[in-house]
Amino acid sequence: MQKKRMDKADTVIEKSVLFSFLTPREQEVFFPLLEEKRVSANEILFHRGDIAEEVYFIAAGKIAVKKETGFEGSSLVVALLGPGAPVGERGLLADGKRGATVVGAVDSLVYVFSGAEFERLKNNEPAIAIKVLEWLLRRSALRLELNSDRLAHVL
């Protein structure tokens, strides 16, 4: 099986689509704050309990969120996130710790937005920071609603 190579032209298109809630001027301010990171399949982005210092925005691929089970050394994938999803939102909050282990399910591309860059954005462009937070809150609320629905079906 041949893998599709992601080049810079694809990346720019993905980024502009991923952050389409921002105006073109806001994107010009926001995009330089993001670091592009390629994640290999089975590569760990972070472990549960790690200090949370950034949020990741998935541009391509799949990222697995794992939680430990009651059995020693065993974990379970509780979410499989794809393009358009944020992961590690706690990284924008001061003194946050990771609540799960997150790993590349397949080769993936993510954009990293550090808490330090978020602080600078809040100070220099607060309206953009608010838009990013509102988008994250909407995504988190939707994820919580879907998880609550799944749980209700199990109970």
Domains recognised in the chain with CATH numbers:
8-147 (2.60.120.10)
Parallel/antiparallel/unpaired status of strands 108-114 and 44-46 = unpaired
Per-position pLDDT tens, the chain of length 155: 334 444 444 443 478 889 999 999 999 999 999 999 999 999 999 999 999 999 999 999 999 999 888 788 788 898 899 999 999 998 988 788 999 999 999 999 999 999 999 999 999 999 999 999 999 999 888 877 777 777 787 77
> Alpha-carbon torsion 96, 62, 13, 4, what sign?
positive
Query: What pTM did the predictor assign?
Result: 0.84
Distance CA 131, CA 85 (A): 16
* Distances, alpha carbon 133 to alpha carbons 7, 21, 55, in Å: 29, 11, 11
Around Cβ 101, how many Cβ atoms within 10 Å?
Answer: 19
Distance CA 125, CA 117 (A): 11
The string over 60-74, giving b where at least 16 C-beta atoms fall within 10 Å of a residue's C-beta and e elsewhere, is bbbbbbbeeeeeeee
